[in-house]
Structure formats: structure tokens, C-alpha cells
Structure 1
Amino acid sequence: MAMGSVKHALDAAMDAARWAPSTHNTQPWTFSVSEQEICLRADPDRKLRVEDVSGREMLISCGAALFTMRTAMSCEGFEPVVRVLPDPDRPSLLATLRLGAEVQADESIHALGGEIERRRTHRAGFADVPVPDALVEKLVLAAADEGVKLTPVRSVEAVSVIAALTQAAQGVQAQDQRFSLEVIRWARPPGSSRTDGVPAEGYPREAARTEPHFPQRDYAWGHDWGSQTDQRASAATGVVAVLTTRGDSRQDWIDAGQALQHVLLYASAHGVSAAFHTQALEMELLREFMRQELCSGQYPQLIMRLGVTFDDKGSMRRPLSEILW
């Protein structure tokens, strides 16, 4: 195993992990390297202290970064050897990844790897183009590979209930100054040089209203921010899906993040994007209602809409030098 290829594989894995999704693009992770092993840690300074009191969303984001590193290592020709939560005395240490045996990744892994930097979060309605049922079933299998359940919500009534819960949570949060100030902290005005948060071009200035209505965060906060709406876009809701786990431990949250990124990369490789709605899951009463009434007792970790968009927005990530310790 050549040292040059080892260093290249480690660097490639950490560089790829920067592109994982995170709530408000907080990028709440740091990395360190020792010989042939990467340590993935949560960055508590980037935790959303109002929206994410438990740290659940932070660990889901870090789990997505973990899956990204696994994929990148495989694409570089090494089997990733992963230990999740390896040291109970160091709770911020979420995982270690070591380069294992040299392997030849198959086309499916390379297809996922090719989407790491291309995948984008969508924050509006989708084009009126259906997502094939066969693809949705593949996404269900992708989540299952990580021990997590992805459930497409086929019932019109259930979709309406989830939309109503999202509306209720967004309405309450919009009236809470603490929530509003936290969103503002991560909203970036036009021309900002920051490499984290949600840029002004990352959402439409005037989003078409989906039916039923799934509200987005108000990142503009009264300003005339946002991008021009693509004329090919519409108010299509897309396929509503819920990511759930049997338990609700830190391990479950990390697993949910790995499943999320597996689903997103597979979807992106087939021209499908995701819009996220975490508002209702940030309010414990609404989350528990969903668990009992809509999720068969499983714990909802993420609500998303899947669809086709013709937007080609850029994205921003912190340089590796800022997150490598």
C-alpha cells in the first residue's frame, strides 16, 4: 500500500465529506488524521441550540458526512473500516474510519461518488415531472442498506397531515424570536463571502406554493433576497417521504444520516433532488404525534419531498483547512 495513495485517499475522503448536507448548511463537523485513520467529531459550536436542543440534527448531518467519506474511500480503492461511537468517554468523537484492504469499487459506488459535489438541497416546488415508482423503491432499499426505513407517503390524507404539521410548526417558530434569530444567523445576504449557511441564491425569491403547502424557512427575513424562479419550475409537491428508525439513540441518529446521504446521492444520480422539512420534528409534541399516528411507532428523523428540478444552483463549503484539526 503506497503511502502516496494512502494520503490521497484520506484527503479525498475528508474533502468529499465537506459536501454532505446539514441543517442550514451549518457543516457541524471536524476531522483529524492519525496514520491511516480519520476521526470524525461533532462541532458543538455549530449546533443549533434552539432548533436542535438534543443535537439530533447535528448527528444526522455528521452521519451524512460519514457515509460520504465511506463512499469516497471506496472510490479511491480502499475498503472503509468504520467504528461508530468508539469511545463513550469522548462523546464528540462520532466515528473513526480506517483504510482497509484495497478493493475495486463497482459502478454503483462510483455513481454515488460522482454525485457528492453535484447534489443540491432544493427549497421550492418541483417541476411537474413524476418520480418513477421503480426509483422510489430503489431509494427505499438504499436506506435499508443502512438499517433505516424510508417510507414514501402514498396516502393523500397522510400527506395533508404532514403538510399541516409542517405549517403549524413553521407558524409557531416564526413567532418565536429565538427561532427567528437562529435562522437569521445562518442566512447569508447577497454577495456574502461566508462559506457556510444558506446563500441568498439558495432559495427562490417568490416560491410557487405547493398543494398541500409545505412551507420553507424564511431565510430572507423581510429582505428582497432569493434567486429568480426557473420558468420550468412549478408548484409540484413531489413524493413525500419520511426517514424513520426503530430507536432514538445517538447511534440511530448517525445511522439516519448515513441512510439520508445514501438516498440523496442515489436520487441525484437519477436526476432527482430533495427538499427537507424539519420544522415539525423540532417540536417534541408534534414529533411524538407523528411517531404514534403516522410512523407505526418508529421515530421520524427527517421529512423530505423528492422531485425533479431544473435549478442549477451553486453551493458553498468551508475549506478543509478550517475543519481539519
Structure 2
Amino acid sequence: MAVLSAKHAIDTALEAARWAPSIHNTQPWIFTTSGEEISLRADPDRKLRASDTSGRELLISCGAALYTLRTAMRCEGWDPVVRILPDPDRPSLLARLRPGTEMAPDESLKTLGREIERRRTHRAGFADVPVPDRLIERLTRAAMEEGARLTPVRSPDAVRVIAALTQAAQGIQAQDRRFSLEVVRWARPPGSGRRDGVPAEGYPRRAARTDPDFPQRDYSWRHDWGSQADQRTETCAGVVALLTTRGDGRQEWIDAGQALQHVLLEAAACGVSAAFHTQALEMDLLREFLRHELCSDEYPQMIMRLGVTSDDKGSVRRSVSEMTM
């Protein structure tokens, strides 16, 4: 009976992992199973060639999938045994995990598990509703548990600096045809049957400016795609936060992804959504400026805004069979 239960936990974990967040919803992971072990690999065909030359964002996305696997398995009553980067000669093999000892999931863990499929990325402004300080403290602890640091940016001047860097990066990337074509490659037109990328209803056709303005990716570049939902009443930037790590290698990128998903699930359980801004982190000079001036020399892995929204968009994901080998 225990073997059957472990098999069920593996199947449940794989089903959950497909809902992990990823840059442009590229879903850049491959899962394989052998007996009672899951292997997580990076899918190089889904790497962003223009904006993610180092593969940093790819590994952050895969780290989020790893945390989702772990959480789902724990919700099924198994404490997973995880090995990250288990084989130096196989760089695409990011992790292996298997059910370990049996455990009894507590209610807080079950709450995170319920949010895996419900969590959504937001791509516009937020309502003028404060995010409780108590929740921010919980989110910082969640990131710390995974080996990263989440720092809310409390200084209005610092928030304006981060917004300005985002604006500068977006403006530069908008002039680069490679960046624009890459973004549009992962933007889905209305009625598309694809189960990856960002569906037309998942981003505003013309996003309203937040205060200060954090520009979104131009998924509707040279098209008239996107949601027509009126976002003019939701223009608050929300709480700006930086996710950082002490190092900046493959291990830290995976850690950052696990921390990111832990933070997102904790936030979603309290009705708080996140919007991401990675433009400035895709430009080495701007990322180094952020690191030295606002991150106490830690490496910025994600810029996000946290807030409350009435927007309730759908999402798309590939099936488990499309992600497994």
C-alpha cells in the first residue's frame, strides 16, 4: 500500500508542477520518472536566446517547478528527498527527488498546495489596498527558508529608481528587434490552442501606467491583442520587493526559483498577487547597478510588485505527457 501511495504522490506532484510560474510562461522543464524518482531537467529549446543568454531565468523557472514538486509531494504525505545538481557531467539535470519518509501535512502546507493551480501572474496595476506588514514578514521568512532574501523596498526614492531602471530597460529592449520578436513569440493570439506562452486574455491590450510607472512587456507588439478589461481604476504599484541571493551561480538561481514560488503561494493564500519586472535584470550594467546600490551587494534575481487586484485571468499549461520523457 505504501508503494501505491508513493506512486500516487509522484503522479500528483507532476500534475502540480506544470502550474509553476515561468518567464513568459515558457514552461522550460522536462520531467522523467524512474521507479519512485523524478528527474527535473532544463529544456534548452525553451530558453530565451535574446534576454536570457546565461540561462539564469530558465533555472529560476525550473526552481519554481522544483518547489512545486516538493510541496505537492508533502501534501500527499511524503517528505521528499531532494538532490540538486546531482551530476556535474550532466548540466541539464537540475534535480532528482523521491518520496522519503511518510509525514502528516499540516493545514498551512495544505493551504499552499491548494494555491498551486489558483495562483496567477498579474500584468497591470493593483487596487489601492494595502498589503499587511504581517504578510510581508511571512513572505520574507518564506524566501529565507529556501536560501534567498526578499526585501520590500520601503523608500519612495528607491522605488522610483527601480521604476526608472525598468523604464530604461524596457525602452532599450523595445528598440531591439530580437527582444521584441522573442516576447511576441510567447504571446498567444486570441483563440490560440497553444498551451504555453501568455494567452491574449492574460495581459492588458494597453496597460495603464502605475504610479510610479512600471512598464509591462509589450506582448501586443505590432498586433492588437490583449485583454480589453478596463484597468484604469487599478493603477497602484503595490509593494515593490527585490528577491536576492548571496551568490550568482546555478545553485543560487534554482534556490531563487524555489523561494519565488514559496513566496507566491504564501501571498496567493492571502489574496495577494504578484507582477514581475525582469527587464533591468536582463541587462548586465543595470543589474550590477541594482546590486551595488540597492541590494547590499547581493545579486538581484527578481523584481516584483505585490498587491491586491480584482482581475481574475485564466492561464494555460501543457499536459503532463507533453512535459515528460
**Which TM class, normalised by the smaller chain length?**
over 0.9
CA contact (8 A) 1:206 1:229 kept: no
Once the 2 structures are TM-superposed, how far is the Cα of residue 6 of structure 1 from its aligned partner? Answer: 1.7
Instruction: Give the CA deviation at 1:14.
Output: 0.8
Distance in 1, matches of 2:134 and 2:46, equals 38
What does residue 54 of structure 1 align with? 54
Counterpart of 1:269 in structure 2 is: 269
Give the conservation status (yes or no) of the 8 Å contact 1:127–1:309.
yes
Structure 1 counterpart SS, 2:39: strand
Q: How much has 1:268 moved relative to structure 2? A: 0.1
Aligned to 1:25: 25
CA distance in 2, matches of 1:81, 1:280: 36
Amino acid at match of 1:237: A
The 3 A distance-change label for structure 1 pair 233 and 315 is farther
Structure 1 partner of 2:182: 182
Whether contact under 8 Å (1:245, 1:300) holds in the other structure is yes
How far did residue 231 of structure 1 move? Answer: 6.3
Residue 208 (structure 1) shift = 1.8
1:39–1:93 CA contact under 8 A, matched in 2: yes
**Partner Cα separation in structure 2 for residue 60 and residue 157 of structure 1:** 28
The SS at the match of 2:268 is helix
Contact 1:230–1:311 (CA under 8 A) maintained in structure 2: no
Q: Report the more deviating stretch, 212-221 or 3-12.
A: 3-12
Alpha-carbon shift at residue 223 of structure 1 (Å):
2.2
Cα distance in 2 for partners of 1:231, 1:88 equals 47
For residue 227 of structure 1, report the CA deviation from its aligned partner: 1.3
Tell me which residue corresponds to 1:99: 99
- Corresponding position of 1:149: 149
Q: Which residue is 2:284 aligned to? A: 284
For 2:137 and 2:275, the matched residues in 1 are separated by 18
CA distance in 2 between counterparts of 1:264 and 1:117 reads 12
Q: Does 1:69 align with 2:69?
A: yes
* 2:125 is equivalent to residue 116 of structure 1: no
Q: Return the offset for 1:48.
A: 0.3
Contact 1:233 1:310 in 2 (8 A): no
Q: Which amino acid aligns with 2:78?
A: F
- Structure 2 alignment gaps of length 5 or more: none
Q: Matched residues in 2 for 1:254 and 1:154: separation?
A: 27
User: What is the identity, as a one-letter code, of the residue corresponding to 1:167?
Assistant: Q
- Which residue is equivalent to 2:196? 196
Q: Matched residues in 2 for 1:283 and 1:223: separation?
A: 26
Distance 1:129 1:32, change over 3 A: same
Q: How many angstroms does 1:233 deviate by?
A: 4.3
> CA-to-partner distance for each residue in 1:102-154, whole Å, 9 max, x for gaps?
10011111010000000000000001111011111110011011111000000
8 Å contact kept, 1:25–1:196: yes
* 1:25 positional shift: 0.3
Deviation at 1:88, TM superposition (A): 0.2
Distance in 2 of aligned mates of 1:232 and 1:142: 32
CA contact (8 A) 2:207 2:231 kept: no
The alpha carbon displacement at 1:225 in A equals 1.6
**Distance (whole Å) between structure 2 residues aligned to residue 207 and residue 233 of structure 1:** 11
Amino acid at match of 1:221: W
Residue 2, structure 1, aligned to residue 5, structure 2: no
**Partner Cα distance (1:250, 1:225) in 2:** 36
Name the counterpart of 1:86.
Answer: 86
2:320 aligned residue: 320
Deviation, structure 1 residue 230: 4.7
Deviation track 1:304-324 (CA, whole Å, cap 9, x = no partner) reads 000001111110000111111
In 2, distance between residues paired with 1:231 and 1:290? 29
Contact conserved, 2:119 with 2:268, CA < 8 A, in 1? yes
Task: Quote the Cα distance in structure 2 between the aligned partners of 1:12 and 1:232.
Answer: 40
Percent sequence identity over aligned pairs: 75
Identify unmatched segments of 5+ residues in structure 1.
none
Q: Distance in 2 between matches of 1:224 and 1:230?
A: 15
SS of the residue aligned with 2:57?
Answer: helix
Coordinate RMSD, CA, aligned: 1.0
Distance in 2, Cα, partners of 1:258 & 1:57: 12
Deviations 1:257-305 (A, max 9, x none): 0000000000000000000000000000000010011100000000000
Runs of 4+ that moved beyond 4 A: 230-233
Residue 3 of structure 1: CA displacement? 2.8
Q: C-alpha separation between the residues in 2 aligned to 1:121 and 1:8? A: 29
What do the CA deviations read for 1:152-174 (whole angstroms, capped 9, x no partner)? 00000000000000000000000
Three-state SS of the structure 2 residue aligned to 1:114 is helix
Q: Structure 1: which amino acid aligns with 2:118?
A: R
Number of residue pairs the alignment of both structures matches: 325
The structure-2 alpha-carbon separation of the partners of 1:232 and 1:206, relative to structure 1 and needing over 3 Å to count, comes to: closer
The alpha carbon displacement at 1:205 in A equals 2.1
For 1:2 and 1:190, the matched residues in 2 are separated by 46
Q: In 2, Cα distance between the equivalents of 1:233 and 1:209? A: 11
| Alpha-carbon distance in 2 for matches of 1:319, 1:9 | 17
Q: Which deviations, in whole Å up to 9, do the C-alpha atoms of 1:75-94 show, x marking residues without a partner?
A: 00101110000000000000
